[in-house]
Amino acid sequence: MYGVIGEDKSDFESLKILIKRITGDQGLTVKGRGFGSCDTMLKKGAQQLKLLADFGMTRFIVCYDSDGHDPAKRREEAMRKIIGPSKLSDFCITIPVQELESWILADFSAVTNIFRSWKPERHPNPENVESPKEFIVRASRDSKSKTRYSHATHNPRVARHLDLDIVYEKCASFRPFRDFVKKPTV
Amino acid sequence: MFTNIEITQFRSCAGVNISDLRGITALAGRNGSGKTNTLRAIRWLAAMATGGDDSRGIGTVEGHREVSATIQLADTTFRYHVQHVSTQNGPELMESLVSDQIKVERNGEQVILDFHDEPLQIDLDAPCIPAIISLLPHLSEVDYLAQTRAFFSSVHYYALDEPHYSKPDPWGMIPGHRYEKWVSEQSTGRIESDVPIRLLHMSKERPEDFDEVVSLLGEDGLGLLRKISVHEVDLSEDESELVHLVRFTPIAQKRFGRGFSSLSAGTRRAVNLITSMVYDKSAVMLIEHPEDGIHGALLTKLLDILRVNCDPLQVFLTTHSTAVFDQLKAEEVRLVSMTEGETSVRSLSDQELTAASNFMQNDGSFSDFIETVQDD
């Protein structure tokens, strides 16, 4: 049973879907929340993880966007401010290089499952895109699709269709997350 | 898009100037502070330019109304100004539209154009821009006026109020004659904004738009509805009693659809907002309290849908909601307050913007910040 926290509600919702897909267990319990900002997550994350543990969650994931900063420093900050105070042991800190949307860019063609007239190609270097969220919105504007991409609504929808092997191959930041979910419980 | 709005006089608004407008502008203030009057002033200005519903009543409106706006339209900017004053001798109406390309000035029934030698005489009841377009269709300058009219025609106000449903409608029935009447009244621009009829119309005439609504509300979108189904049923043998069925299947329901009024109030409101956005193809949406009856998580998604549709869409909304404030940028908020019966509207000052940024970096929420600022 997984407890997941992220900066954004859509991060949590997307990770929830990815965890269920990776484990192949659609009935798996995944609880958590998005905080709306990284500052709030850093302040309240430990308390939230403890609450999730009290709800019976046993494995924990913290998703903290690197936003172009040094991922190692982000990890250290998440350890110091969230994981350390929570005193939890079976955890994974996931640090998307910019934003979680880079994982979507890795298999960008998956959006065609939601927007039939929009047929973008997979991005060759998704983690080099400076603002993947904005990149996707711009691409959506320029596409033939009448409906525009809204990360809050569509990230979790697209997560259902991502080719996770492709994401694993192209996004170094995805690998620790998938490896953690795949490995047996401690 | 509107870049600046100046409300010299409109109901409680006097000397209100709203500048540096962007895709989203949120009006925050206590009940009765004048948020709705501000939206209505914008609606009135647009209606005066096009002859929409709100412009009717010239001569019956009491007092002084004066609103002007600067509008960016493609590569050009123009300023439109309307002043209506009721006097003992009857109404006085002044109107002007000025850009780099043309200049139109109305004083009562006389309209002077810088691209036409003779002044025009236009009835006070007739809106100026459409009248010029129909009187001088051969002039090239009229194309520009047609663009301005198209802009003002696509300014829509959404109170998102609903008719009173005395009882739920399990079938979602729309009698054929009612739909036909609605279609015939479309050209007048004075049709009721009934959600099921709009969806029925889109399914028949604008299937791509209908699909967009279904996509946004369905499992691949907001996850509110599993299906919106539209059927025709003939209750007679000679097709004299044609009935349309517009039925909504909530996401948690597997098989049977139901009428719009049988949906929950919050779902109806969200469906109304999405249907309006797609159906009206608005340039500007004026939305009253989008948060009413809507869960915070859904509200976040609705606001993001509005935001990604900004450019060309522009949204003005009134709100008291912490969930809405927490989705906004500080630059998008205008504080509305009432002092001695007069509404004032202002942006956050540079000092307040810095304070907001510091506050949020230290775990404060923007909604808490706004509450503190409003306590001034």
B219 contact residues in A (CB cutoff 8 A): 157
Cα–Cα distance, B266 to B273 (Å, whole number): 11
A37 contact residues in B (CB cutoff 8 A): 360
- Write out pLDDT tens, residues B85-94: 988 888 899 9
- Write out pLDDT tens, residues A157-173: 999 999 999 999 999 99
Closest CB to A37: pick one of B220, B222, B360. B360
B220 contact residues in A (CB cutoff 8 A): 113-114, 154, 157
3-class secondary-structure state, position B126: coil
Cβ of B215 within 8 Å of Cβ of A149? The answer is no
Closest CB to A146: pick one of B212, B219, B307. B212
3-class secondary-structure state, position B179: helix
Which residue of A114, A147, A161 to mutate against B (max B Cβ within 10 Å)? A147
B65 forms beta bridges with B84
Cβ of A153 within 8 Å of Cβ of B304? The answer is yes
- Write out pLDDT tens, residues B215-224: 999 998 999 9
Q: B35 vs chain A: nearest CA distance in angstroms?
A: 27
Confidence of residue B190 (pLDDT cuts 50, 70, 90): low
**Closest of A119, A123, A94 to residue A107, by C-alpha:** A123
Taking one residue from A and the other from B, the number of pairs with CB-CB distance under 8 angstroms is: 52
Q: Residue B187's pLDDT is what?
A: 63
Question: If you average pLDDT over every residue of chain B, what do you get?
Answer: 89
- Write out pLDDT tens, residues B136-178: 999 999 999 999 999 999 999 998 877 666 677 778 899 999 8
Which residue of B363, B367, B368 to mutate against A (max A Cβ within 10 Å)? B363
pTM of the model: 0.86
| Eight-class DSSP state of A149 | P
Instruction: Give the DSSP per-residue string, A99-126.
Output: -THHHHHHTGGGGGGTSTT--PPPPSSG
Residue recorded with tokens 């054929």: B176
Cα–Cα distance, B272 to B216 (Å, whole number): 12
Cβ of A150 within 8 Å of Cβ of B304? The answer is yes
Q: Residue B158's pLDDT is what?
A: 92
B297 and chain A in contact, CB less than 8 A = yes
Residue A15 CB coordination number (10 Å) = 27
Above 60 in pLDDT, residue A59? yes
What residue in A sits closest to B296 (Cα-Cα)? A9
Give yes or no for a cis peptide into B312 (omega within 30° of 0): yes
**Closest of B258, B267, B255, B269 to residue B172, by C-alpha:** B258
Q: Which residues 105-134 on chain A approach chain B with CB closer than 8 angstroms?
A: 113-115
3-class secondary-structure state, position A49: helix
Lowest mean pLDDT among B117-121, B250-254, B337-341: B250-254
**Closest of A3, A6, A83, A88 to residue A41, by C-alpha:** A6
B217 contact residues in A (CB cutoff 8 A): none
- Write out pLDDT tens, residues B9-59: 999 999 999 999 989 999 999 889 999 999 999 999 999 999 876 665 555
Confidence of residue A106 (pLDDT cuts 50, 70, 90): very high
Task: State which amino acid sits at residue B145.
Answer: L
Instruction: Give the DSSP per-residue string, B48-101.
Output: HHHT-GGGTTTTTS-SEEEEEEEEEETTEEEEEEEEEEEETTEEEEEEEEEESS
